[in-house]
Amino acid sequence: MRRLVVTADDLARDPATTDVVLGLVRDGCVTATTLIPVAPGSASAAAGARALGVTPRLHLTLTGERGLPRWHPLTSGSGLAGADGALTDDPFVVAARAEPEDVVAELDAQLAWMRAQGLEPTAADSHAGTLYGLHGRSYLAEALAWCARNGLAFRLPRDPVPYLGGPVPAELGRRHAQAVRLADDLGVALPEIIMTNRLTAAQHGSYEALRSDLVTRLDLLPEGTSELFLHPSTADAALGGAVRAWEARLLRDPVWHAAVEAAGIRLVEGWTS
């Protein structure tokens, strides 16, 4: 059986994104969402999720984003913050200055915040990939041990090639294989593969090209449970441009849903389902 979690990432990122994501959840267009605890609208987004009876995954967030109000870590005195007390928008800076104990303390604080909102997530993932070692230092060992202590699954693909879109650099491949073995030893559930859209609207050229690309990639899904995560929002350029609006359109598109059904793929809420 091929199973797929369809995730609308970035709940609370900004008001427009929150409205779009909650609408997709309400209308059954996605099977999961993730929540950013450090964003200014996080409490309102959590309330919206509770009202719909959905528990988002914890979108562990160690960076901010350009063009949005500054985000601040939930831990005081954290090595994650700059001189202004805010998170950097550069993941390479995080990798250069954040010590593992800073990272784990912030993960603890973000999970505690979720629980204080009446939400008990069953899985976590990493905003902007800051935990994975894609930008230098890897915090995967700490993140996986943390997930094991808290009974959480984690978004780390067993096979990284479909996400990276090509050969895996040797050192990254070595660290990835080591992390998958550690996850198995710790009992942390992982998806088989993860897919997302990494191109801009200009690179796609049209909405139909984006849709065709993602429909074609359904053929890549292996047996077991994988994940497609997108970042649906509005077309406001400050919030990510047309491609986020196209992703929101795709998740409501009958052609997309028919393709998933025709491929015999079962939609599920998580990779432990």
Give the tens place of pLDDT for each residue, 13-22: 999 999 999 9
User: CB count, 10 Å around CB of 130?
Assistant: 27
pLDDT at 88: 93
Distance between CA atoms of residues 125 and 147, nearest Å: 10
Express as a percent the part of the chain with pLDDT over 90.
90
pLDDT at 273: 56
- Looking at every residue in the chain, the average pLDDT score rounds to 95
pLDDT at 193: 98
Q: pLDDT band for position 251 (50/70/90)?
A: very high
Give the pLDDT mean for 141-168: 96
Q: Find the length of the chain.
A: 273
Q: Which of 125-129, 148-152, 219-223, 235-239 has the lowest mean pLDDT?
A: 235-239
Mode of pairing for the β-strands spanning 2-11 and 224-230: parallel
Q: What architecture is the 2-268 domain classified under in CATH?
A: Alpha-Beta Barrel (3.20)
pLDDT at 237: 63
Contacts of 120 (CB under 8 A, 6+ apart): 55, 114
Q: pLDDT band for position 72 (50/70/90)?
A: very high
Give the pLDDT mean for 57-86: 91
Per-residue burial over 236-273, b if 16 or more Cβ lie within 10 Å, else e, is eeebbbbbbbbbbbbbebeebbebbeeeebebbbbbee
Q: Which of 103-112, 167-176, 184-193 has the lowest mean pLDDT?
A: 167-176
| Side chain identity, residue 170 | A
Tell me the per-residue pLDDT of 116-146, one tens digit each, with 9 for 90 and over: 999 999 999 999 999 998 888 999 999 999 9
pLDDT at 42 over 70: yes
All structural domains of the chain with their residue ranges: 2-268
C-beta of residue 136 within 8 angstroms of C-beta of residue 100: no
- Candidates 38, 177, 49, 168; CA nearest to 112 is 38
Express as a percent the part of the chain with pLDDT over 70.
99
Tokens of 216: 């074609």
C-beta of residue 144 within 8 angstroms of C-beta of residue 183: yes
Give the pLDDT mean for 156-178: 93
pLDDT at 241 over 60: yes
Per-residue burial over 30-62, b if 16 or more Cβ lie within 10 Å, else e, is bbbbbbbbbbbbbeebbebbeeeebbbbbbbbb
DSSP SS3 for 110: helix
Widest distance between CA atoms in the chain: 53
115 phi/psi in degrees, rounded to 5:
-65, -35
pLDDT at 46: 98
Q: What value, to the nearest 5°, has the Cα angle with vertex 35 and ends 184 and 144?
A: 20
